[in-house]
Structure 1
Amino acid sequence: MAFDKHASPDTKQYHIQVARGEVGRYVFLPGDPFRTDLIASFLEDAKLIAHNREHKTWTGTLCGEKVSVTSTGMGCPSTAIAVEELIKAGADTFIRIGTAGPVRDSSDCERYDGVIVTAAVRDEGTTTHYIPIEYPAVADRHVVEALSRAALAKKLNYAEGISQSKDSFYGEIDPDCSPVSGLLKERWRAWQRGNVMCSEMECAALFIVSSIRGKRAGAIMNWGDMNETIQTACDAVRLLIGQDKANSEQGG
């Protein structure tokens, strides 16, 4: 199938292979296609919609509302593609669910269950193709609040803070392998001194694309316990569904 930028919104999107009506307005975004299966198990009546390249999509329900999960693949380029095409298919609220490494201090893994990301350092190249680097990559405050409330209700200790979104996994875990190791280490120390909480590879693209398209996005990252994180994200979406219904009734 050839790419057609003028294709109807009802046409299946080129990369994720879903059409309008096949996904809900609320979408969970893991990086790993195989993790979509686990997340889908927390939805009601989940059905596999499409799997093309790194993008695998399930759709089910929460609180009677259609909710989907689509994998982004690793990194900002494929994340931006997935979010762009999900928006064209009708989605408007995104929660990234993933794992991250601590930046500020390795003891964060012991003190916290993970991080609810409020903003992202744009230490990657994709988002500069959207808007100048001075534009901040910020999560939607309502999504952040819903995630925080959901975590608190479960008595989980998620920090709220900034993530570093990078392009090179090995630049983080083995900077000495790079000819610019000195620069990488210097920048890492800057993130630590600036109280950046964690490091991952997708939040910046998610926040930038969502912001400039007028959509909502947030992210919840953990150090390893994925089930608790998924449950927290699902509870956050339940809160958002309730708030959105109340706002709609008041507006009507």
Structure 2
Amino acid sequence: MQSTSPLAPMHMNITAQDLKGNGRLGRYILLPGSDGRAEAMAQRLQNVKVLTHSRRHNFYMGTWQNLDIGVMSSGMGCPSMDIIATELLHQGARRIIRVGTAGSLQPQRLRIGSLVIPTAAVRDEGTSRHYLDPTIPVQASLEFLDAVRRAAAEQKMLDRIFLGITHTKDSLYAREFGEGPMQPEHKRYMEHLHAAGVLASEMECAQLFTLTQVWNQKLLQTESARPAVRSGAILAIIGDDQPFADGDIVKATIEKAMDLGFATIDNWSKNEDRSWL
């Protein structure tokens, strides 16, 4: 079978031209897990153009406060994040924010309705191990963490957010909810995460952070004049003692995460190295 060029996206209908904007920096990209949430985020944009795809990885492109922004679903899990983020990176994406959901691992203090900003991710999944040895940690970009904290302060949201390490898993039902014959091992592992102070559990951040580190090393070696890749995540907590909150609470918490995502882009853009723009 003939290999396909990695520069040609197979799971989205975009080109490098579609990701241009904000001077040489390119569009800020928001990656929710579902196309429904991507469409909801896109309703905040002006001059929206939608590039549809049969797999529902539709790309919504537009402007917000004179900034060029793109929104697309990453899908569920690290294998899907690997495909979507890699194809975006090949087309020139350099600023990526995952806006998603997670379950609390510290329910006594981190409750439904809170927001978590991962500083780093526990790599309890298989996808990133195809890129980096399991002993190598992966983290959010410091530039993103600075921007999201400043944005939260400006929005008077500091009392609602938690910054710290989060957990990325492959299996929702086995690892977190104990399905299958390995339930005792999963229970011990999740208790270990709690004892270690890991804040929340989700399914995509580890691969996004891994790709960021790998691509930056690649760019240093081959394209040092181009902007580096920067990424981060904003997670809406929709489960604590109970696995899932009711629909209204979930919707309100995701709205808060979206609010902070756009506020972060605004703050980030104002503090970017202007030599790239």
TM-score, normalisation: structure 2: 0.82
| Aligned counterpart, 1:163 | 166
- Report the secondary structure of 2:111's partner residue: helix
- Report the secondary structure of 2:181's partner residue: coil
Q: What pairs with 1:1-252 in structure 2 (closer than 5 Å)?
A: 5-6=4-5, 9=7, 11=8, 13-23=9-19, 24-109=26-111, 113-156=114-157, 157-175=160-178, 177-214=179-216, 215-223=229-237, 224=250, 225-244=253-272, 246-248=274-276
Distance in 2 separating the partners of 1:17 and 1:3: 21
Distance 1:46 1:245, change over 3 A: farther
- Count of aligned residue pairs for this structure pair: 243
Distance in 2 separating the partners of 1:21 and 1:184: 45
Distance in 1 separating the partners of 2:208 and 2:144: 13
Task: Check conservation: 2:176, 2:190, Cα contact below 8 A.
Answer: no
- Report the secondary structure of 2:18's partner residue: coil
Task: Check conservation: 2:74, 2:80, Cα contact below 8 A.
Answer: yes
Distance in 1 separating the partners of 2:137 and 2:206: 9
Task: Give the C-alpha shift of residue 247 in structure 1.
Answer: 4.6
Task: Give the C-alpha shift of residue 75 in structure 1.
Answer: 0.2
Distance in 2 separating the partners of 1:52 and 1:136: 35
Alpha-carbon deviations, 1:176-200, whole Å to 9, x = none? Answer: x221111111111111011110111
Alpha-carbon deviations, 1:169-219, whole Å to 9, x = none? Answer: 1124421x2211111111111110111101110000110011110111100
> What amino acid maps onto 1:238 in structure 2?
D
5+ residue gaps, structure 1: none
Deviates more, 1:152-161 or 1:118-127: 152-161
- Report the secondary structure of 2:44's partner residue: coil
Task: Give the C-alpha shift of residue 62 in structure 1.
Answer: 2.7
Distance in 1 separating the partners of 2:174 and 2:154: 37
Distance 1:124 1:45, change over 3 A: same
Task: Give the C-alpha shift of residue 118 in structure 1.
Answer: 0.7
5+ residue gaps, structure 2: 20-25, 217-228, 238-249
Distance 1:37 1:3, change over 3 A: farther
CA RMSD of aligned residues (A): 1.9
> What amino acid maps onto 1:216 in structure 2?
R
Alpha-carbon deviations, 1:15-42, whole Å to 9, x = none? Answer: 1221111134310011111111111112
Distance in 2 separating the partners of 1:241 and 1:4: 38
- Report the secondary structure of 1:31's partner residue: coil
Distance in 1 separating the partners of 2:54 and 2:148: 29
TM-score, normalisation: structure 1: 0.90
Task: Check conservation: 2:46, 2:64, Cα contact below 8 A.
Answer: yes
> What amino acid maps onto 1:6 in structure 2?
S
- Report the secondary structure of 1:109's partner residue: coil
> What amino acid maps onto 1:159 in structure 2?
F
